[in-house]
Chains A and B, each alone.
Chain A
Amino acid sequence: MKRIVACFYIALSWLFASGLAHAADPLKIGFVGGQTGYMAQCDQPNLKGMELAVAQINAKGGIDGKLPIELIARDSRSEVAPSAVMAQELLSEGVTVMISPCDVDHSVAVAQITAAAQVPTISSCASTPSLASVGGEFMFINCTPDNLQGGVLGKYAAEQGYKRALVLVSRDTPYTYQLPMYFADAFKKAGGELIGTVEYKLGQQDFAAEVTKIKALQPQPDVIMTSAYEPDFPAFLKQLRSAGVTAAVLGSDGLDSPTIWGLGAVADGVVFSTAGFPVEGSSLAQFASDYKQHFGEESQTSFNATGYDIIKIIEAAVVATGDKTDGKSIRDAIDNLQDVQVATGKITYRGLNRIPLRSVALNKVQDGKKTFVSTVTLQPGEIPPPN
Chain B
Amino acid sequence: MDYFAQQAVNALALGGTYALLALGLAVVFSILGLINFAHGELMTITGYGLVFSLAAGVPYPGALICGVALAVFCAVAMERVAFRPVRRASATTMLLTSFAVSSILHTAFQNFISARPKPVPVPEWLGGAFTLAGIQIGAIPSLSILVTVVALATLVWFFQSAQTGLAMRAASEDFAVTRLMGINANRVIAASFAISGFLAAVAGILWLFQRGSVDPMMGFVPVLKAFIAAVLGGLGSLQGAVLGGLILGATEVMLRAYLPEALLGFRDAIALALIIGLLIVFPNGLMGRPIQAR
B-side contacts of A259, CB under 8 Å: 116-119, 212-213
A-side contacts of B14, CB under 8 Å: 206, 208
Q: Which residue of B lies closest to A212 (CB)?
A: B6
Binary contact readout A298-319 vs B (1 if CB under 8 angstroms, 0 otherwise): 0011000000000000000000
Distance in angstroms from B124 CB to nearest chain A CB is: 7
Within 161-210 of B, Cβ neighbours of A (below 8 Å) are at 207, 210
Binary contact readout A230-241 vs B (1 if CB under 8 angstroms, 0 otherwise): 110011001101
Chain A CB count within 10 A is highest, among B3, B138, B218, B222, for B138
Partner of A212, one of B111, B118, B257: B257
Contact B110 A40 (CB under 8 A): yes
Contact B215 A36 (CB under 8 A): no
Distance in angstroms from B10 CB to nearest chain A CB is: 4
Distance in angstroms from B134 CB to nearest chain A CB is: 13
Chain A CB count within 10 A is highest, among B14, B115, B218, B221, for B115
Within 32-82 of B, Cβ neighbours of A (below 8 Å) are at none
Contact B116 A41 (CB under 8 A): yes
B-side contacts of A231, CB under 8 Å: 117, 211-213, 215, 218
Binary contact readout B233-265 vs A (1 if CB under 8 angstroms, 0 otherwise): 000000000000000000011101100010011
B-side contacts of A213, CB under 8 Å: 256-257
Contact A235 B210 (CB under 8 A): yes
Within 119-138 of B, Cβ neighbours of A (below 8 Å) are at 119, 121-122, 124, 127-129, 136, 138
Q: Which residue of A lies closest to B264 (CB)?
A: A199
Say whether, besides A45-B116, A266-B127, A209 and B256 are in contact (CB < 8 Å). Answer: yes
Q: Which residue of A lies closest to B249 (CB)?
A: A206
Quick check: is B13 within 8 A (CB to CB) of the other chain?
yes
How many of B's residues come within 8 Å of A, CB to CB?
50
Contact B106 A262 (CB under 8 A): no
B-side contacts of A262, CB under 8 Å: 119, 121
Q: Which residue of B lies closest to A258 (CB)?
A: B119
Contact A197 B213 (CB under 8 A): no
Quick check: is B216 within 8 A (CB to CB) of the other chain?
yes
Quick check: is A366 within 8 A (CB to CB) of the other chain?
no
Contact B141 A208 (CB under 8 A): yes
Partner of B119, one of A36, A204, A263: A263
Binary contact readout B129-154 vs A (1 if CB under 8 angstroms, 0 otherwise): 10000001011110000000000000
Give A222 to B44 CA distance when docked, in angstroms. 36
Quick check: is B230 within 8 A (CB to CB) of the other chain?
no
Q: Which residue of A lies closest to B265 (CB)?
A: A171
Distance in angstroms from A313 CB to nearest chain B CB is: 24
Give A209 to B264 CA distance when docked, in angstroms. 12
A-side contacts of B124, CB under 8 Å: 264-265
Give A176 to B210 CA distance when docked, in angstroms. 20
Residues of A whose CB lies within 8 Å of any CB of B are 35-38, 40-41, 44-45, 171, 197, 199, 201, 203-206, 208-210, 212-213, 215-216, 230-231, 234-235, 238-239, 241-244, 257-259, 262-266, 300-301
Q: List 5 A-B pairs, minimum CB-CB distance, nearest first.
A: A208-B10, A40-B115, A209-B256, A262-B119, A234-B212
Q: List 22 A-B contacts (CB under 8 A).
A: A37-B106, A45-B116, A199-B261, A205-B222, A206-B17, A206-B210, A209-B253, A215-B136, A231-B212, A231-B218, A235-B212, A238-B122, A238-B140, A238-B210, A242-B128, A244-B129, A263-B119, A264-B121, A264-B122, A265-B127, A300-B116, A301-B116
Q: A203-B217, A259-B212 are in contact. List 16 more A-B contacts (CB 8 A).
A: A40-B216, A41-B117, A199-B264, A203-B220, A203-B221, A206-B210, A208-B138, A230-B213, A231-B218, A238-B122, A239-B138, A239-B210, A242-B139, A243-B129, A264-B121, A300-B114
